Amino acid sequence: MRKWTICSFLLLLCLLFLLPDQGRNLHANAEADSDAPVDPPKVEEKIGAVPHGLSTDSDVVKREAESMSRKSLRSSAEKFEFQAEVSRLMDIIINSLYSNKDIFLRELISNASDALDKIRFLSLTDKEILGEGDDAKLEIQIKLDKEKKILSIRDRGIGMTKEDLIKNLGTIAKSGTSAFVEKMQTSGDLNLIGQFGVGFYSVYLVADYVEVISKHNDDKQHVWESKADGAFAISEDTWNEPLGRGTEIRLHLREEAQEYLEEHKLKELVKKYSEFINFPIHLWATKEVEEEVPAEEDDASDDEDNVKKTTSEWELLNDVKAIWLRSPREVTDEEYTKFYHSLAKDFGEEKPMTWSHFNAEGDVEFKAVLFVPPKAPHDLYESYYNANKSNLKLYVRRVFISDEFDELLPKYLNFLLGLVDSDTLPLNVSREMLQQHSSLKTIKKKLIRKALDMIRKLAEEDPDESSDTDKKEVEESGDSNEKKGQYAKFWNEFGKSIKLGIIEDATNRNRLAKLLRFETTKSDGKLTSLDKYIARMKSGQKDIFYITGTSKEQLENSPFLENLKKKGYEVIFFTDPVDEYLMQYLMDYEDKKFQNVSKEGLKLGKESKLKQLKESFKELTKWWKGALASENVDDVKLSNRLADSPCVVVTSKYGWSSNMERIMQSQTLSDASKQAYMRGKRVLEINPRHPIIKELQARVAKDPEDESVKETAKLIYQTALMESGFVLNEPKDFASRIYSSVKKSLNISPDAAVEEEDDVEETETETETSSKETESSPKIEEEAVDEDVNDEL
């Protein structure tokens, strides 16, 4: 019995030694089959692991490599389909021939910075949210694995829950997705991807498989993975190192993207694109160092040997002090341009038009940098009054708070980009309470003034905007070529914003009016200003003359300008629909009133001759007003604005112009009853020197009841109505009068009738013929079938 016991014990010992080896062999065989789905390691294998992200422990690196070497979705993961718009976007990126693939790193670092901003803001009211140790370090880490061809970007930001991963990276397309796809199809410029909030997908420029590992304080750690083949998968992460909090993105690089595994390339990209990120960016860098090794004991010499050794450590890549904290004198133009590109997420070749960097002191202290972009955003005026589109980032004592503070700038300046850092605002309050803080009003007031000064200076430094004396000074400064035409470019991009500012901002209306630009009858196709217009005004001219319409070409031939041009007066052309609203608010400038030359009240110096003629035409004007009773004409008067035309229709001073009527009628939800109330009273002004008017005066004096004369008077009025820009209420009536006039000129009797078409019988015959053909067609078909059968037989 004792022998059997000893034998059994020895057999058990052998089995215990053999089983681990067999397990390891099975595990190795399973990993060798790369095509087969591999289940993630059990969580028990992680016991005792070091709890921080990009650990350099050799065992951890091995485990990470095992999990990352696969390029197929895990079999145990929950599968999802990308939303159609996201799939479309990814197809465009993957198949793009866009040469600048570097942008992917810029977008990932920018997203990491945003995540860090969010957790830092939340920590202002909840300090425990950051955790302890490495988790409390707000930083970005970049690490590469040349052997596995994997590039990793890690942040200790807010992280994402499982729902966040689904929402942000797959199923729900943000509003920018469609806009970006549309922009790509028209311009093909992938460089703007960050402006549309879909920068993450740029990873597929360089990677064919992507893993996103994320841990949010409110959820477990999850892994999002996709090969960009229309699907993605999410699973609970039980095999990677616990992140603590934050997100790590692993890019399995394509063969043609191996350059991004070079440290010097990554350093170059961070320097170029992410130099002004407000969090430290570290790269796990290797370097060779020389170590002194003591000589061996049997070596007679006292010299020590130097041996080269490769070491790795985290290297800080962005140690530049924040631009807004530096003195403006210390910052170069190149640095301002780089900072603008970083803010705008636009890394094209164009520089910002201008910028302003200043420190505000007093009761409210803050530092700010404002930029005018080279181009207007694609959606600048879409949903202008409904959308929140602030482009200013608000910092409080170097802590990012928000980029959605509408209280910092009015809507009409929402095209400006920049940053405000206040030392006065409180840190540890909610965003809602901060919006109500009294200091914000003071900050807003100073920002508006600085912004308008910046734009005014842009105009003053433009040689095209300067007078001859000022032009010499600008040219002597040496910047004339670079600044030439800059204000015209600004006006073409953002002029509508200045006009909206005049409408909305009564306090700064005069400052904004100085920035207005327009063409006139004397500007030779160039833009001019109100100050220049006033400098050119004729002596005795009290009003600033302007006219509104659809185009400059149409206005140049307007009958309203005939006498004004003849007498040498300058008239402003307003051709933008918003100009009609603008001139309802801009009533005067530098003590000069504005006068629409298509409305009543136009005065052109002394008009004594017109007063003398008024009495002699009194009978005609009275008769004509009666003849137009059905046309809703308020009055008929002699005109001081006509030179070559017989007459023109003007509106009352405070009613709508013909251009405004047309604009309002084109509105989708316009109210006809309100339009009738706002429509200006129409006045027919006649030219007493015109032969048509003189002949009509003679005919009326001879026989005021002559119906043909009345019809002629109505036809003249309707023609003038059209020439003055109005839409005829009854075009059929106008056409009938034209045809009657044509008949008369051709000596055709007014009673001549149109010949009737004599084709009734022919129509009936055609009908009978067609019916017979229809009846005979079946017989023809039957005969054709019989012939086919006979042929086959």
Categorize the per-residue pLDDT at 268 as very low, low, confident or very high, splitting at 50, 70 and 90. confident
Which range, 88-92, 206-210, 293-297, 592-596, is most confident?
A: 592-596
Comparison of pLDDT for 350 and 758, the residue scoring more: 350
- Three-class SS state of 479: coil
Residue with tokens 């905007």: 465
- With a cut of 50, say whether residue 67 has pLDDT above it: no
176 is in an annotated binding site: yes
What's the rounded Cα separation, in Å, for the pair 569 and 550? 21
What would the two tokens of residue 604 be?
A: 């052109």
Q: What is the pLDDT of residues 320-335, one digit of tens each?
A: 778 898 899 989 998 8
175 is in an annotated binding site: yes
100 is in an annotated binding site: no
Query: What are 594's strand-pairing partners?
Result: 544
- With a cut of 70, say whether residue 294 has pLDDT above it: no
What would the two tokens of residue 216 be?
A: 């949010």
Residue 30's contacts (CB-CB under 8 Å, 6 or more residues apart) are: 36, 38
DSSP 230-294: SEEEEEE--SSPP-SSEEEEEEEE-GGGGGGG-HHHHHHHHHHHSTT-SS-EEEEEEEEEEEEEP
Question: E strands within 670-755?
Answer: 682-686
pLDDT at site 650:
94
b vs e for 53-69, b when ≥16 Cβ sit within 10 Å of the residue's Cβ? bbbeeeebbebbebbbb
Q: Which of 310, 313, 369 is nearest to 339 (CA)?
A: 369
pLDDT at site 30:
37
- The backbone region for 546, taken as left when phi is positive above 0, alpha when psi lies in -120 to 50, beta otherwise, is beta
Q: Which of 127, 729, 188 is nearest to 428 (CA)?
A: 127
Mean pLDDT for the stretch of residues 665-680? 67
pLDDT at site 384:
73
Q: What is the DSSP letter of 462?
A: -
Among 4-8, 109-113, 122-126, 314-318, which stretch is predicted with the lowest mean pLDDT?
4-8
What's the rounded Cα separation, in Å, for the pair 704 and 702? 7
Identify the burial level of 522 via C-beta atoms within 10 angstroms of its C-beta, where 0-12 means exposed, 13-18 middle and 19 or more buried: middle
Query: How many Cα atoms within 13 Å fall on the side-chain side of residue 256?
Result: 9
82 is in an annotated binding site: no
195 is in an annotated binding site: yes
Q: What is the pLDDT of residues 375-419, one digit of tens each?
A: 988 778 877 776 666 788 888 887 777 777 777 899 999 899 999
Phi, psi of 505 (to 5 degrees): -110, 90
Greatest alpha-carbon span in the chain: 154
107 is in an annotated binding site: yes
Query: What are 548's strand-pairing partners?
Result: 574
pLDDT at site 95:
62
Identify the burial level of 215 via C-beta atoms within 10 angstroms of its C-beta, where 0-12 means exposed, 13-18 middle and 19 or more buried: buried
pLDDT at site 250:
94
174 is in an annotated binding site: yes
Q: What is the pLDDT of residues 472-528, one digit of tens each?
A: 555 555 555 677 889 999 999 999 999 999 999 999 999 999 999 999 999 988 999
Mean pLDDT for the stretch of residues 422-445? 78
367 is in an annotated binding site: no
pLDDT at site 124:
82
- On average, the pLDDT of the chain sits at 79
- Three-class SS state of 143: strand
What's the rounded Cα separation, in Å, for the pair 628 and 710? 9
Query: How many Cα atoms within 13 Å fall on the side-chain side of residue 295?
Result: 8
155 is in an annotated binding site: yes
Identify the burial level of 592 via C-beta atoms within 10 angstroms of its C-beta, where 0-12 means exposed, 13-18 middle and 19 or more buried: middle
Amino acid found at 538: K
362 is in an annotated binding site: no
What's the rounded Cα separation, in Å, for the pair 139 and 476? 48
DSSP 41-65: PPGGGGTT---STT---HHHHHHHH
230 is in an annotated binding site: no
Among 213-217, 560-564, 770-774, which stretch is predicted with the lowest mean pLDDT?
770-774
Residue 718 near residue 736, CB atoms below 8 Å = no
What's the rounded Cα separation, in Å, for the pair 523 and 571? 10
b vs e for 119-158, b when ≥16 Cβ sit within 10 Å of the residue's Cβ? bbbebbeeeebbeeebbeebbbbbbbbeebbbbbbbbbbb
514 is in an annotated binding site: no
Residue 574 near residue 598, CB atoms below 8 Å = no
